[in-house]
Amino acid sequence: MAATLNLQTPVVGPAAPSDPASSTYTGALINNNTTKAAEILNITSYRRADRELPVASIHPRQHDAVRATIFRPLTTPSCNNTTADFDFDLGALGQLPFELIAMVCRELDVASALRFSHVNRTAREVLTSVRELRHVGAHALDALCVLLRTGLAVHVPVLDVYAALTTRDCSLCGAAFGGFLFAPTATRCCLACVASSPATRVAHLSRVGEAAGMSAASLDDAGRLPVLHSKKRIVAVQHALALLEGQGKDAEEAEEIVSRWPDSLTLRFQAATTLPYLERTARGEGAAEPGVSCKGCQVAFEADFSDDHLELRDRFYSRAEFLAEHFETCEAAQKLWRASQEGTAPVPEPAWMGLGRTFTAPCARRRPSTSSLSSASSSDY
């Protein structure tokens, strides 16, 4: 049954009146008109509330108490509040110049960086002097928590997380906004690549151990592989290939072995988490954005449940990308904008938006360029 706009759902409130002289805006004109850009985003885009459901995620409230302290300077003064209270010893490391210690901190893995920040106040001050670490703590806390809880934090350098945080597009296909992080390799990727790319394929540790002639426990305990600890221990297939080749198997033989392993969509999602995008500006500061989706594409999908509309509905964009590229070519989004009288009149929301995260969750299909966000569960393939 085709669905159109649901007049009973909440509406987008009217924005300030705009110049009605023109109903067509180029990307350059929109970007140069901050008010107009905000109105267009308000009317024609939205943040999907269900995007984190199929992947590993952390409830924000669980870490509100520490959110402002991760890789941040300590602001609570000591009891005596004297200068000497801040002069804590770093041992042999303290003999190095401050700049060299900061350079060492930039090379730490996530787990080591957090442990070092807990040594004393001096260690915290050195660590928080590194801009990249401050940005990771401020904008990628959920990803850090996933890395820590799954045991991958000792294998992932903080700078790799920062590189992913400040990369906008999918590092695997380069064709879409990458709203996700493949945790075992700290790779920015889109939902379609999480579901289909060979680079995000994962396997049970027990299968890797069997192929390598080692027990899963020995592989895990020795720390030879970045093992993700979830309900089951899983490993990125690319790491398994490296292990097999390191044992003397040639690349073709190793590929033939892993090709026999089942590919699980569920396991792929367990190895990924959401990651916002932080734009690198001239000052090195910026606001992170999780990506937006198009309301017009959602309306078109509700009217015609076709694969083409599904693919467009499931895409994410940065705000700048949405305004400069997608809005210019999306007839459904432009129709919403005209219906709002260029931001001066309320328009009905798509019916699906009222259902939110309690109804559906992303579940990408196994097609190279298509993802389907229609089911809250996935089956092993």
Judge whether 360 lies within some domain.
yes
Judge whether 373 lies within some domain.
yes
Q: 301 and 233, same structural domain?
A: no
SS3 236: strand
Q: Alpha-carbon distance 342 to 353, whole Å?
A: 21
Give me 379's structure tokens.
Answer: 């089956």
SS3 250: coil
Q: Alpha-carbon distance 211 to 254, whole Å?
A: 9
Report pTM.
0.78
DSSP for 47-73, please give it: --TTTTSSSB---GGGGTTTTTTTTS-
Q: Map 78-126 to HEC letters.
A: CCCCCHHHHCCCCHHHHHCCHHHHHHHHHCCEHHHHHHHHCCCHHHHHH
Task: Give the model's pLDDT for residue 231.
Answer: 85
Q: 302 and 218, same structural domain?
A: no
Q: 366 and 299, same structural domain?
A: yes
Task: Give the model's pLDDT for residue 69.
Answer: 74
Q: 372 and 309, same structural domain?
A: yes
Give me 196's structure tokens.
Answer: 């289909």
Q: Alpha-carbon distance 174 to 171, whole Å?
A: 6
Q: 379 and 298, same structural domain?
A: yes
Q: 244 and 294, same structural domain?
A: no
Q: Alpha-carbon distance 274 to 159, whole Å?
A: 17
Ordered mean pLDDT values, 10 residues apiece, the chain (381 residues): 35 39 49 78 86 77 71 63 57 87 93 91 88 92 93 96 95 91 96 93 94 88 86 93 90 92 93 92 68 90 83 87 91 92 81 52 43 32 31
Answer left, alpha or beta for residue 376, where phi above 0 means left and psi between -120 and 50 means alpha: alpha
Task: Give the model's pLDDT for residue 8.
Answer: 34
**In terms of residue numbers, what domain contains 295?**
1-51+290-381
Q: Total structural domains in the chain?
A: 2
Judge whether 97 lies within some domain.
no
Point out which residues pair with 202 in neighbouring strands: 236
Judge whether 46 lies within some domain.
yes
Judge whether 30 lies within some domain.
yes
Give me 74's structure tokens.
Answer: 């300590």
Q: 375 and 307, same structural domain?
A: yes
Is there a contact between 9 and 346 (Cβ–Cβ < 8 Å)?
no
Task: Give the model's pLDDT for residue 15.
Answer: 38
Phi, psi of 261 (to 5 degrees): -80, 140
Task: Give the model's pLDDT for residue 363.
Answer: 47
Q: 378 and 322, same structural domain?
A: yes
Which residue is listed with tokens 């001066």?
A: 344
Q: 309 and 370, same structural domain?
A: yes
Give me 18's structure tokens.
Answer: 């705009």
Q: 295 and 367, same structural domain?
A: yes
Boundary of a domain, candidates 215, 247, 262: 262
Q: 298 and 253, same structural domain?
A: no
Strand positions, DSSP E, 173-231: 180-182, 187-189, 202-204, 228-229
Helix axes of 158-165 and 110-117: crossing angle, nearest 10 degrees: 110
How far is C-alpha 323 from the geometric centre of its chain's CA atoms?
21
Q: 300 and 226, same structural domain?
A: no
